[in-house]
Amino acid sequence: MLNLVLFGPPGAGKGTQAEFLIDTFDLIHLSTGELLRSEIAAGTELGKKANEFMAKGNLVPDEVVIEMIKGKLATNPDTKGFIFDGFPRTVNQAKALDKLLNENGTPISAMLCLEVEKEELIKRLLTRGQISGRVDDQNQKIIENRIQVYRNKTEPIIEYYHPQNKHHTIDGMGSIEEIAERVKKVVEKL
Ligand code: B4P
The CA-atom distances, in angstroms, between 30 and each of 73, 157, 163 are 9, 18, 25
pLDDT (average), residues 162-170 = 97
For the whole model, what pTM was predicted?
0.94
In whole angstroms, what separates CA 78 from the centre of its chain? 22
Q: Is the pLDDT of residue 122 over 90?
A: yes
Nearest 5°: CA angle at 111, between 146 and 26? 105
- What element of type H or E holds 48? helix 45-54
In whole angstroms, give the CA distance from residue 7 to residue 138. Answer: 22
Distance 180 CA to ligand 1 centre (A): 16
pLDDT, tens only, 43-79: 999 999 999 999 999 999 999 999 999 989 989 888 9
In whole angstroms, give the CA distance from residue 12 to residue 175. Answer: 12
| Strand partners for 168 | 112
Q: Is the pLDDT of residue 172 over 90?
A: yes
pLDDT at 183: 98
Ligand 1 neighbours by CB, cut-off 6 Å: 10-16, 32-33, 36, 53-54, 57-60, 65, 85-87, 89, 93, 124-125, 128, 136, 146, 175-176, 179
pLDDT at 29: 96
In whole angstroms, give the CA distance from residue 86 to residue 37. Answer: 13
Distance 8 CA to ligand 1 centre (A): 9
Three-state DSSP class for residue 129: helix
Classify residue 172 by its DSSP letter: -
pLDDT (average), residues 157-179 = 97
pLDDT (average), residues 78-103 = 95
> What are the strands, taking DSSP E only, across the chain?
4-7, 28-31, 82-85, 110-115, 167-171
Q: Ligand 1: which atom is nearest the Cα of residue 116? A: 49
For residue 11, the one-letter residue type is G
